[in-house]
Amino acid sequence: MITIEMAGLTIGIENRFMHSRRFEAFRTESTRPDFTVSVTDEELEAEYRLCPGRKEYLEFTCTYRKIAELLPDYDAFVFHGAVIARRGGAFVFTAPSGTGKTTHINLWQKAFPDSWVLNGDKPVIRKLEGRFVACGTPWCGKEGMGTNAIRPLTAFGILNRGEKNEIRPAAREELLPMMLRQTYRPKDAARLVKQLGLMDACFRALPVYTLYCNMDPSAARMAWETMGRHLPE
């Protein structure tokens, strides 16, 4: 069994095929996990039917889904987005796959050498001590961009491709459909209700912007000039 520290939680993972190196930055010697997950043969077979692949990768994917199912019990949920950190805050950028999340956070790193990637693909968002935080996870995209860290969540950005750079507050009617598509939704009804409440509280508490961006570093500077204003004093 592998035991990791992630999002302020200790999680046991009963692995059979996964390489322990996937979890190297998150490993802990703790013997008292908050919860433990494992993947059955039936679940691996179902995953293979959806997306054929190596058992090692299928188990890795299924494991995170099982963790995501339990996270609402701890005021947390998985979100599909890339998180860039700067000056004590964390900025989450979300978009359909292939729209340019990785490109945009790379632009931040070019424009701001003091910025760094907290998670490139599937961070955990958790409510801790009354505020929402972004948490690094081992599930950080094919590029492996991520850090085992927790930072105060500052703002969300919904990315779109554009010839010129623009940013505006997201309209409420576009916010909910996008955010629902970008989260794992638990099968358990009680956990789903709790997660929806958490998401609603999160998106009400934090600013959300719609961005149209090109591939120039000026796109990152535009985002920072607006979103960076929300850093705590």
CA distances for 26 relative to 6, 68, 77, 177, 222, angstroms: 7, 17, 18, 32, 33
**What pLDDT shows up at residue 9?**
97
Q: Residue 95's pLDDT band (boundaries 50, 70, 90)?
A: confident
Q: Assign residue 100 a region: left if phi > 0, alpha if psi is -120 to 50, beta otherwise?
A: left
User: In the chain, what are the domains?
Assistant: 2-74 (no CATH), 76-230 (3.40.50)
pLDDT at 53 over 90: no
What's the pTM?
A: 0.93
Q: What are phi and psi of 112, to 5 degrees?
A: -130, 95
Q: Residue 87's pLDDT band (boundaries 50, 70, 90)?
A: very high
In the predicted model, what is the mean pLDDT of residues 31-58?
90
Residue 202 CA to residue 179 CA, distance in Å, equals 11
Higher-confidence position of 18 and 232: 18
**What pLDDT shows up at residue 47?**
87
Residue 13 CA to residue 181 CA, distance in Å, equals 27
pLDDT at 99 over 80: no
Within 10 angstroms of residue 98's Cβ, the number of other Cβ atoms is 8
Q: Assign residue 108 a region: left if phi > 0, alpha if psi is -120 to 50, beta otherwise?
A: alpha
pLDDT tens-digit readout, 193-219: 999 999 999 999 999 999 999 888 999
As given in the structure block, the two tokens for residue 70 are: 């339990």
**What pLDDT shows up at residue 52?**
84
Higher-confidence position of 225 and 143: 225
Angle at 136 between CA 133 and CA 137, to 5 degrees: 130
